[in-house]
Structure 1
Amino acid sequence: MRDHLPPGLPPDPFADDPSDPCAALDAIEPAQPLDAAERLAVEEDLADLAVYEALLCRRGVRGLVVMCDDCQQDHYHDWDMLRANLLQLLVDGTVRPHEPAVDPSADAYVTWEYCRGYADAMMNPVDED
């Protein structure tokens, strides 16, 4: 079975299919493992993500929106997909292609910067004295 994805990702619908359209990707050189600094950054992102999800999920936020450098469009990522992507980076230094969200409600997604500011405000309340 070709489905060697980290936990949290959906199963590969083409696992063991000889006409798998992604078979050509197998010929691509594997990614280089993350160096210590990159690994630490991903681990910090995972920790931050857990805090952001805990704070924002109950407020109806489904995940993050990220502007794609390649296509200059917003990409919407649910919490689980983000976590799976970061875990995959730790495992093999790359993120596999994934399907974009279907007709996402843009209001249900926020940026990393918004999350950082919200978490900072919630963890460091201002005294009104």
Structure 2
Amino acid sequence: MYFPYYLMHPVLTAQPGYMINVQFPRTYPPVDTKIFESSIKSFRLLMEQGSLLLDRLSNVSFAHKIMTFAQQGKKAEVDQLIQSTGLKVPVTTKFTPSGVELILTAKGSQTTFGNCCTLTINLKWGQ
């Protein structure tokens, strides 16, 4: 006696002629927290450096200089002022008339896994 394939494997069919998408269990590699631990360590440094930067930016005369240079479109001067804070990590600065974005990046020398982490600080300074 002949049995149609879909009747022999009811798991694969919802109704005769309609196939159900069967997902097989995935296999994952063993958990290794080394990279994650390194990222956390690097990010803690970024948080410390971000805090130092915010402390410096809270100085009114320093903030005034940065905003004045930014308003004049002098990115190199803004970057130089940011670097003068003595941060140990690279900072990328982007600004608009309404705010500034500061991106701190963990350098490869701080972690054996390269640039793992970034901390982005967005601050509003205008309408």
Structures share fold, TM-score greater than 0.5: no
Higher RCO, 1 or 2 (CA under 8 Å, sep at least 6)? 1
TM-score (norm 2): 0.26
Whose radius of gyration is greater, 1 or 2? 2
